[in-house]
Amino acid sequence: MRMIDAVRLALAGFADPRCRRCGGRGYSGLLTADALCRCVPPRVPEKPVTPDDELPHPWPAITRRAQEIHAAAVLENVPDNWVG
């Protein structure tokens, strides 16, 4: 799985499935910061801003969720048996 696919899945997870603007995808058009649908930010839990956060709300939560999805996909392809 590519990271961009994980970001798309994360956005779809936060998007409103009934949204007429994005159809539940969470973005419209090309996937850029400006393409984020209006239905996503209200559905993302807002956490206190830390000095390490370089991205505005809701991107830190979307990024974390995309990393979790990507890591799970990568680990699924790792063999269960590490012995020879």
Q: Which amino acid is at 39?
A: C
pLDDT value of position 41: 92
60 Cβ contact list (under 8 Å, min separation 6): 47, 53
The string of pLDDT tens digits covering residues 6-63 is 899 999 999 999 999 999 999 988 888 788 999 999 999 877 666 666 777 888 889 8
CB neighbour class for 24 (10 Å; exposed up to 12, middle 13-18, buried from 19): middle
Residue 70, pLDDT > 80, answer yes
Residue 83, pLDDT > 70, answer no
Q: How far apart, in whole angstroms, are the C-alpha atoms of residue 77 and residue 3? A: 15
pLDDT value of position 11: 93
pLDDT value of position 82: 52
pLDDT value of position 1: 82
Q: How far apart, in whole angstroms, are the C-alpha atoms of residue 74 and residue 53? A: 25
